[in-house]
Amino acid sequence: MAGTAPASSSINNAGEGATGGSKSKLGHGQQSADTSSLKRKRGLFSKDLRLMMYGFGDDPDPMQETVLLMEDILIDYITDTVHKAQDVASRRGKLTTEDIMFLVRKDARKFARVKELLAMNEELKRARKAFEVDEDKLANDY
């Protein structure tokens, strides 16, 4: 247990350097705005990340710094992906799920997962619609 604290600290420091490096490309005004928006998002995924980290073999109660680092990495990844998708969609002016699929098309695992999630979303929509129809029929019967 004592061995994990220094490793997490070094990871945390490396992560801050990587994050700081990507922010240094921005102008000074953009850097402070980016930092403040990142602070607002902190904690948004921490509960889910803790559970996922445990599921992938981490400690049942991972260090808060490690969770925050993972969250920063996740938010950076999502932001970068959406920006790239927006660049792809700029010709049409509208961002769609197909733009995300286009970006991950060469990564078979990500592409399969996106397809699976979209199919599940459609299935849930159909189930909700069927449930609403059944609910309306019951209301009309009474």
Give 41's pLDDT tier (boundaries 50, 70, 90): low
Spell out the residues 6+ positions from residue 15 whose beta carbon is closer than 8 angstroms to its own: 69, 72, 73
9 and 71 co-located in one domain: yes
Range from 32-36, 55-59, 62-66 carrying the lowest mean pLDDT: 32-36
Give the domain extent around 114. Answer: 104-142
Task: Say if residue 59 is in the same domain as residue 118.
Answer: no
**In a domain? residue 57:** yes
Question: How buried is residue 24: exposed, middle or buried, by Cβ count under 10 Å (0-12/13-18/19+)?
Answer: exposed
Same domain, 64 and 118: no
| Residue 98: inside a domain | no
Please report which confidence band the pLDDT of residue 15 belongs to, taking 50, 70 and 90 as the band edges: very low
In a domain, 99, yes or no: no
In this structure, are residues 6 and 14 in contact, taking their beta carbons and an 8 Å threshold?
A: no
The predicted pLDDT at position 140 comes to: 73
| Total number of domains in the chain | 2
Whole-model pTM over 0.85: no
Integer Cα distance of 69 and 46 in angstroms? 10
Same domain, 89 and 110: no
Q: Are residues 44 and 112 in the same domain?
A: no
Same domain, 78 and 110: no
| pLDDT exceeds 60 at position 37 | no
Contact 124, 134 (CB under 8 A): no
- What is the distance between the alpha carbons of residues 98 and 22, in angstroms, rounded to a whole number? 27
Tokens matching residue 46: 């921490």
- Same domain flag for 78 and 141: no
- Backbone phi, psi, residue 98, to 5°: -65, -30
**Of 54, 53, 57, 104, whose CA–CA distance to 78 is shortest?**
104
Q: Model confidence at 64, in pLDDT bands (50, 70, 90)?
A: very high
Cα distances (angstroms) measured from residue 49 to each of 4, 53, 95, 110: 18, 6, 27, 18
Domain-terminating residue out of 52, 68, 93: 93
CATH code, 45:
1.10.20.10
Residue 83 falls inside a structural domain: yes
The confidence score (pLDDT) of residue 91 equals: 84
Q: How far, in Å, CA of 46 to CA of 21, rounded?
A: 24
